[in-house]
Amino acid sequence: MVNSKPRPADNVTNGLYNQDILTVRQFTPELVDYVFGVADEMRTLVERFGSADLLQGKIMANLFYEPSTRTSSSFMAAMQRLGGQVIPINSVKYSSVSKGESLADTVRTLECYADVIVLRHYEVGAAAEAAHWASKPIINAGDGVGEHPTQALLDAYTIQRELGRMENLTVGMLGDLRFGRTVHSLTRLLLNRDVTFRFVSPRLLRMPEEIRDEVTNAGDTFTEHRDVMEIIDEVDVLYVTRVQKERFTDLADYERVKDIYVITPEVLANAKEKMVVMHPLPRVGEIAYEVDQDPRAAYFRQMQNGVFTRMALLAAVLGRA
Ligand code: NCD
């Protein structure tokens, strides 16, 4: 289903033109570099002019079946800064979804009005299903515990900007590695780049076997830990995640693990001087507010990078990059 939509000859456009963005597996290292290059241009554009008319006349539908602040607003900001328009369906309960309309019909409706559909859904594979039905491009903005490819791209872009490289790194991922789709996508995006992964979680929230196998099959290495202090002194990136309460079937399990990690200045006292603390946000206690002042705390810059990355992706998918 990936890359199933017609695309003009490659010499007239880029590899993302008219394509769905469903998984980070679509992104070759060359394509990642290309997106980062365009994101840099978008940053300059926003800093100098605030907006442009690159996507004037284009419309993006933002279809969100799950809560979102950052992903939905940054996609809207990205579209509007490029001169495009947005149909925001941020609360599907007020749309015909609450009348029982299927995803297939909802996306085939929205593509009558829009040129691209950004979809967040609670089911793994929903974006691929939507892409199957739609003839306009679908951008996966999170499909259940599956993937969140645009978040992984903005995360990798942040790593590149903060540390000057996204290769040859030790990356600690901490918290809910089982249900957190952002760490699934980011791990995949960092494969084959000489990255050593340190997965820190309680046993209940281990990185899924499928992804651990992908790391091994790529010839990369990972170790698993319960205690962040075992890895804090060696990581270049500490990627912190929220325990995903909404994914638990047994809330007693959630209560047992919800407060298991809190990154404080005392924890970071043991970290390298040049490293970054990242978080896709929202945080619900796993990073103390006192950490925000630390120059290594990159999560606010990470959010800002999300707009530039999404501007680059929208421009590319709509053929104007
Ligand atoms: C993340 C998500 O939705 O997966 N948020 C985001 O998009 N920035 C992480 C989370 O909700 O914990």
Q: Is 23 in the pocket of ligand 1 (CB under 6 A)?
A: no
CA 280 to chain centre: 8
Between the alpha carbon of residue 316 and those of residues 25, 139, 154, 287, 319, the distances in Å are 17, 12, 15, 35, 5
124 with 189, same domain: the answer is no
281 with 207, same domain: the answer is yes
Q: Which atom of ligand 1 is nearest to the CA of 182?
A: 4
Q: Which amino acid is at 6?
A: P
Q: Is 182 in the pocket of ligand 1 (CB under 6 A)?
A: yes
170 with 138, same domain: the answer is no
Burial class of residue 271 (count of CB atoms within 10 Å of its CB; 0-12, 13-18, 19+): buried
Within a domain: residue 139? yes
CA 280/CA 151 separation, integer angstroms: 8
Whether the CB-CB separation of 232 and 264 falls below 8 Å is answered with no
Within a domain: residue 5? no
71 with 162, same domain: the answer is no
252 with 285, same domain: the answer is yes
Q: Whose CA is nearest to atom 7 of ligand 1?
A: 71
Residue segments in the chain with a per-residue pLDDT below the cut of 70: 1-4, 7-13
Residue bearing tokens 């003009």: 8
Please state the pTM of the whole predicted model.
0.96
132 with 226, same domain: the answer is no
When divided into structural domains, the chain yields a total of: 2
Pocket test for ligand 1, best of 69, 71, 76, 174 (most atoms within 8 A of CB): 71
74 with 172, same domain: the answer is no
104 with 196, same domain: the answer is no
State the pLDDT at residue 12.
42
State the pLDDT at residue 7.
67
Sign, CA torsion 36/40/41/47? positive
CA 314/CA 9 separation, integer angstroms: 19
Give 166's contacts (C-beta < 8 A, 6+ positions apart).
156, 159, 160, 190, 193, 195
Within a domain: residue 93? yes
Within a domain: residue 2? no
Sign, CA torsion 117/118/123/129? positive
171 with 277, same domain: the answer is yes
CA 218/CA 195 separation, integer angstroms: 11
Q: Within 10 Å of residue 261's Cβ, how many Cβ atoms?
A: 22
Q: Which amino acid is at 67?
A: P
Distance 281 CA to ligand 1 centre (A): 6
Within a domain: residue 10? no
135 with 175, same domain: the answer is no
* Boundaries of domain holding 136: 24-148+304-317
Within a domain: residue 13? no
- Please report, to the nearest 10 degrees, the dihedral formed by the alpha carbons of residues 139, 74, 185, 143 taken in order: -50
Within a domain: residue 46? yes
Sign, CA torsion 299/304/307/312? negative
> Over the range 8-32, which residues count as b (16 or more CB within 10 Å of their CB) and which as e?
eeeeeebbbbbbbbbbbeebeeeeb
User: Mind listing the pLDDT tens digit for each residue in 74-117?
Assistant: 999 999 999 999 999 987 877 888 888 999 999 999 999 999 99
Q: Is residue 224 within a helix (H) or strand (E), and if so which, with residue range?
A: strand 221-225
143 with 203, same domain: the answer is no
CATH of the domain at 32: 3.40.50.1370
Whether the CB-CB separation of 237 and 258 falls below 8 Å is answered with no
Within a domain: residue 9? no
67 with 162, same domain: the answer is no
Q: Whose CA is nearest to atom 6 of ligand 1?
A: 280
State the pLDDT at residue 97.
85
CA 77/CA 304 separation, integer angstroms: 11
